[in-house]
Amino acid sequence: MSPSTLSRFDIEQVIRRKIQRPAYRKAFLQSPREEIEEQLHAPLPGDMNITVLEEGPNLLYFVLPYEIPAGRELSDLELEHVAGGKHDSYNNTGTGDGGGEGEGAKG
């Protein structure tokens, strides 16, 4: 995994392994950004928000995809982010300015 490009799939794989341990699960629920950055040894983009929801026996969550305003076309990078889902990639420079877009992106 390149330090400049991470994918949602990479992050999910780390989380799936780690949440099997109760101490990590608790820490992840309290501070997901810090736990992800620690496990990946890399900062997440500053403009990326993370929300962790824990389902229960009578509680179910659905994640709706990002909706593009009517009449607006997607850039190539935006299209990569919303298409597929499994290998969503993003710039990991921490600047949020899109630097390094597409380099090493999984598709």
| DSSP per residue, 31-100 | -HHHHHHHHHTSPPPTT--------BTTB---PPPP-PPTTPPPPHHHHHHHSSSTT-EEE-SSS-S-TT
Q: Taking residues 67-90, report their average pLDDT.
A: 67
The tally of domains found in the chain comes to 1
Q: Taking residues 32-59, report their average pLDDT.
A: 88
Does 37 reside within a domain? yes
Does 77 reside within a domain? yes
Q: Taking residues 7-33, report their average pLDDT.
A: 87
Does 62 reside within a domain? yes
Domain extent at residue 62: 5-91
Q: Taking residues 68-75, report their average pLDDT.
A: 76
Compute the distance between CA of residue 70 and CA of residue 93 in angstroms, rounded to an integer.
30
Does 13 reside within a domain? yes
Task: Identify the weakest region by mean pLDDT among 12-16, 31-35, 94-98.
Answer: 94-98
Does 97 reside within a domain? no
6/46: higher pLDDT: 46
How far CA 15 is from CA of 22, 44, 52, 63, 102, in Å, comes to 12, 15, 11, 17, 24
